[in-house]
């Protein structure tokens, strides 16, 4: 349950034009303090008095914030962005302070969705699932189209991201089309994939395998949560996956999970090792805070965080295609 904490004297000395955003900041402050996966990151040495010298309206504000807040304590960061909200002249500016405060964490996963943006996400589920895992790495409609081609019995699918909440359906259609054209083995090209939704990661894996594949360790929970691949595993063909150093997040979970259970062979370069688990927290006004609250790992194995998914074979895409073609039964 989310609740506001008592404010510092710096925060309560005056109120600005956006009291709801000030209250929201307190909720986010408490949430991150109790749920963020890297609590040591919240303990810095910067003094709040240093932050008082920063201007709010100059074009250099953003750069000054980033430079001065580096190494700041979470309390100092909270106080700084509280002043930003009180100095804001527009609602957009006040909400921007909330977004920037979470961006200060710098984990490339945690993000804040305003009420308007949160409603866009909810609408994709008919409003029935208020909290969904959305990484905020791109716009809601910004996921790129899949690319497919067939090479001598091997169906190749380029999956550029796992964003947009429809990747499982996209992939299934692509695989069925390739199978209809004669594909007897598949290669998934994930190079450059930034990751995305946990729910689609589980759905994509479920096209090829059934059962518990991952565990999600969340701060504040004694035991990890088991996450199964969701689906009927209707594609039994040999499967190769290509990754590189720019593969992140749910894309690492997809490739590493299928590799771990022996369903796929991985080729290319070791992936980024960036698998913080983002958990959605619904706030009272309808906004959603997505906070890196844990880490994704294979069931029964060590997390990929900081290590990445290590390929089974070299050769990249060409190596994957060659291997897949070799698995086709004559």
Is the pLDDT at 236 greater than 70? The verdict is yes
Is 222 or 18 the better-scoring residue by pLDDT?
18
The mean pLDDT of 237-254, rounded to a whole number, is 96
Query: Which of 156, 162, 122 minimizes the C-alpha distance to 248?
Result: 162
Q: Picking from 224-228, 251-255, 321-325, which range would have the lowest pLDDT averaged per residue?
A: 224-228
Q: What pLDDT is stored for residue 295 in this prediction? A: 87
- How would you classify residue 263: left for phi > 0, otherwise alpha for psi between -120 and 50, otherwise beta? alpha
Do 117 and 43 meet the contact criterion of CB atoms below 8 Å apart? no
* Residue written as token pair 């905020």: 136
The mean pLDDT of 42-53, rounded to a whole number, is 47
Is the pLDDT at 65 greater than 80? The verdict is no
Report if pTM > 0.85. no
Q: Picking from 32-36, 46-50, 184-188, which range would have the lowest pLDDT averaged per residue?
A: 46-50
Could you report the per-residue pLDDT of 76-94, keeping only the tens digit for each? Answer: 999 999 999 999 999 999 9
Query: Which of 88, 134, 83 minimizes the C-alpha distance to 278?
Result: 134
Q: For residue 192, how far is the Cα from the chain centroid?
A: 14
Q: What pLDDT is stored for residue 170 in this prediction? A: 93
Confidence of residue 7 (pLDDT cuts 50, 70, 90): very low
The mean pLDDT of 296-308, rounded to a whole number, is 93
Is the pLDDT at 126 greater than 60? The verdict is yes
Is the pLDDT at 2 greater than 50? The verdict is no
Q: What pLDDT is stored for residue 127 in this prediction? A: 66
Q: What pLDDT is stored for residue 64 in this prediction? A: 52
Confidence of residue 125 (pLDDT cuts 50, 70, 90): low
Structural domains present in the chain: 9-106 (no CATH), 147-327 (3.90.226.10)
């Amino acid at each position: 349950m989310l609740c506001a904490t008592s404010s510092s004297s710096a925060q309560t000395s005056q109120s600005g034009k956006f009291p709801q955003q000030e209250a929201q900041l307190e909720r986010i402050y408490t949430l991150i303090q109790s749920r963020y996966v890297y609590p040591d990151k919240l303990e810095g040495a910067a003094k709040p008095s240093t932050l008082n010298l920063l201007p709010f309206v100059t074009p250099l504000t953003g750069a000054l914030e980033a430079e001065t807040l580096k190494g700041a304590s979470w309390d100092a960061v909270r106080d700084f962005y509280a002043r930003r909200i009180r100095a804001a002249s527009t609602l957009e500016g006040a909400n921007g302070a909330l977004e920037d405060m979470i961006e200060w964490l710098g984990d490339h996963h945690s993000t804040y969705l305003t009420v308007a943006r949160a409603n866009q996400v909810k609408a994709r589920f008919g409003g029935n699932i208020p909290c969904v895992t959305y990484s905020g790495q791109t716009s809601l409609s910004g996921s790129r189209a899949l690319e497919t081609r067939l090479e001598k019995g091997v169906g190749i699918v380029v999956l550029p991201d796992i964003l947009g909440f429809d990747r499982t359906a996209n992939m299934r259609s692509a695989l069925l089309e390739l199978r209809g054209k004669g594909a007897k083995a598949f290669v998934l090209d994930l190079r450059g994939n930034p990751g995305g939704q946990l729910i689609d990661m589980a759905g994509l894996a479920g096209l090829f395998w059934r059962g518990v594949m991952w565990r999600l360790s969340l701060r504040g929970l004694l035991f990890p949560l088991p996450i199964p691949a969701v689906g009927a595993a209707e594609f039994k063909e040999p499967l190769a996956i290509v990754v590189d150093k720019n593969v992140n997040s749910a894309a690492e979970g997809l490739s590493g999970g299928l590799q771990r259970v022996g369903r796929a062979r991985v080729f290319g370069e070791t992936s980024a090792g960036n698998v913080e688990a983002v958990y959605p927290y619904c706030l009272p006004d309808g906004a959603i805070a997505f906070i890196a609250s844990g880490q994704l790992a294979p069931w029964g194995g060590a997390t990929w965080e900081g290590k990445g998914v290590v390929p089974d074979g070299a050769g990249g895409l060409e190596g994957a295609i060659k291997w897949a073609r070799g698995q086709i039964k004559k």
